[in-house]
Structure 1
Amino acid sequence: MIKANGLTKRYGGRTDKTGKTVVDDLTFTVEPGAVTGFLGPNGAGKSTTMRMILGLDAPTAGHVTVGDRDRAYAAHPAPLHEVGALLEARAVHPGRTAHHHLMALAHTHGIPRSRVEHVLDLAGLSDVAGSRVKGFSLGMGQRLGIAAALLGDPATLILDEPVNGLDPEGVLWIRNLLKSLAAEGRTVLVSSHLMSEMALTAERLIIIGRGRLLAETTVADFVRDSGVAAMKVVSPEARTLAALLAGPGIEIAPGAGPDELDVRGVDGEYIGRVAAAHAVPVYELTPRTTSLEQAFMDLTRDEVEYQAGTAHEALTEATA
């Protein structure tokens, strides 16, 4: 597993007022046997945290351990067998072929050629194994980076935006691969901005904002605790029902259809009782639960470092 305890990274001196704390007293555990999504807005400190896990950046304070023996990644005698990582897929000599790139890594750990051929096949790169990396597309580069991460058959995987540049087939491949690796009892930490993909892939979540821990939970609990976004109500007397339901803390908006309402602030039982008491027919009463994307947006709304304007604001400014 991965254990971070009080992990802090500050750029600039401790007394330098111009310094910036990128990761702030971060404590979490990534358990084996599940895909853990590592989420946060741009600038939240995700990549810096991953670099500290791998010993590429030294923490200002705190520490992080990887594996059953509770030691730092750099202390492992054969780190590729312990942790496979993808932080920057393009960190490859462009003049090397895919096969030579993986063989160079394999030689550092005595990994046999058969394993190189296996991960090339697993990543769907066997047909281009002899091609130079400089001619690879973004998606092919991602596949090569994932193959490199799997080369040592590691117990722990740390992947930063692994679906970036992949086509739909590639996205499905990496989703199924990560789930299968977690099912084998491995520790899998995946950073991504694609909430829809995380909803399909991850079981657990670690969410940070401005370097601080915001949530450490399961996907199911996170979405459930965000509550019901709205109740879909369909009634031939929608206007009448809306007037009966109106009250403090209750939001009512027209739905997609002429007889449809979106009602927030009350549950289906309350709506049903009000409708029955006034003999208002109701054809449908369906809870619309919050998506992972919406729950994430609600949690991190005040943690976004770079807040973009809306398209309407941009258009208004342009025509003013």
Structure 2
Amino acid sequence: MIEVHELTKRYGDKTAVDGLTFTVKPGVVTGFLGPNGSGKSTTMRMLLGLDAPTSGTATVNGRPYAEHPDPMFQAGALLDAKAVHTGRTAYHHLLALAATTGVPKSRVGEVIDLVGLHEVARKRVGGFSLGMGQRLGIASALLADPEVVVLDEPTNGLDPEGVLWIRNLMRDLASRGRTVFVSSHLMSEMALTAEHLIVIGKGRLIADVSVSGFIESASNESIRVRSPHANELHDLVAGPGTTVLSVDRGLFEVTGLSAEEIGDRAAAAGIALHELTVIRPSLEEAFMELTRDAVEYQSATIGEAR
């Protein structure tokens, strides 16, 4: 389990992390989201003992990471896949990690096979592609079979097969009771992988909620309605608190009413419905809406930039 309480980090006059408090529980994949400059990387570095907090605490399984006598068995992390001696082979990189942390030598071969590097295990890391380096970084994180796994942008450089693989790997780790904490800018992947979200902006907590709850909090769902009698139905659903947007001939979208309410009104009036679909915002749309005021750098449109 990961527990963060009133965690704060200042660099001179700049506050990178501002009083964060949250818990990452085992058994679910928890996504860690935030715009660039939100403090995600700083938070993860403090969690792993790489940076000291100005105040507050960050613990892994009840202790600060650096105070564990066997830290790699407690938490494995991928923060920078390039932090590898390029003259070593993948096998010898993992073997050196195992030898210095008390991990059995047999585990090296297991994680090499797990991440799909068997064919290149004896090749120098300096010749690896970005995706191969990413797989090696994940192998390093999993080497000691830790209870907690912290991954920063784990799909970076992976091909579609690799993305599917890491998605299934994270789900499998969580299903076996591990704590999985993953940071990513790929909203589509988080929507498919994560069950819970920690969202921060400008160093502060924005949301600590399930994925579905986060999406629901962003905006109301709309209902797509298609009918050969669209004009007549339009008049039936229009009213205070309801927005009706025409999309195409015979098709419109309604907010402020449920699908059941629209269906009941159509049935009572004897109006045929050819479509009645609930349209929910995507995770990306919800993220953009809820972090709008927490973005450090705002891009101008082409017209505005001229």
Q: How does 1:220-259 map to 2 (within 5 A)?
A: 220-226=212-218, 228-255=220-247, 257-259=248-250
1:41 match = 35
Relative to the length of structure 1, the TM-score reads 0.90
Contact 1:228 1:288 in 2 (8 A): no
Describe the superposition over 1:255-286 as per-residue Cα deviations: whole angstroms up to 9, x where unpaired.
Answer: 3x532111122222343344345544322222
Worse-matched range after superposition: 108-117 or 156-165? 108-117
Match of 2:135 among 126, 130, 143: 143
The secondary structure found in structure 1 opposite 2:101 is coil
Describe the superposition over 1:121-173 as per-residue Cα deviations: whole angstroms up to 9, x where unpaired.
Answer: 10100110111111111111110000000011111100000011111110111
Q: How does 1:189-228 map to 2 (within 5 A)?
A: 189-226=181-218, 228=220
The secondary structure found in structure 2 opposite 1:108 is helix
Match of 2:294 among 293, 303, 306: 303
Counterpart check, 1:293 vs 2:284: yes
Counterpart check, 1:63 vs 2:54: no
Percent of paired sites with the same residue? 61
Relative to the length of structure 2, the TM-score reads 0.94
The secondary structure found in structure 1 opposite 2:69 is coil
1:123 match = 115
Counterpart check, 1:261 vs 2:249: no
Question: Displacement of 1:45 after TM fit?
Answer: 0.7
Root mean square deviation of aligned Cα? 1.8
1:16 match = none
Gaps of 5+ in 1: 13-18
1:10, 1:163 → 2: CA distance? 30
Describe the superposition over 1:60-92 as per-residue Cα deviations: whole angstroms up to 9, x where unpaired.
Answer: 11011111xx21100111111111000011111
1:274, 1:66 → 2: CA distance? 55
The secondary structure found in structure 1 opposite 2:291 is helix
Counterpart check, 1:22 vs 2:13: no
2:21, 2:42 → 1: CA distance? 14
Q: How many residues align?
A: 306
1:108, 1:204 → 2: CA distance? 34
**Residue type of the partner of 1:268?**
A
The secondary structure found in structure 1 opposite 2:15 is strand
1:71, 1:317 → 2: CA distance? 50
Gaps of 5+ in 2: none
**Residue type of the partner of 1:296?**
F
2:169 match = 177
Contact 1:82 1:156 in 2 (8 A): yes
Question: Displacement of 1:251 after TM fit?
Answer: 2.5
Describe the superposition over 1:92-118 as per-residue Cα deviations: whole angstroms up to 9, x where unpaired.
Answer: 111111111111111111222211111
**Residue type of the partner of 1:153?**
D
Contact 2:99 2:105 in 1 (8 A): no
Worse-matched range after superposition: 216-225 or 131-140? 216-225
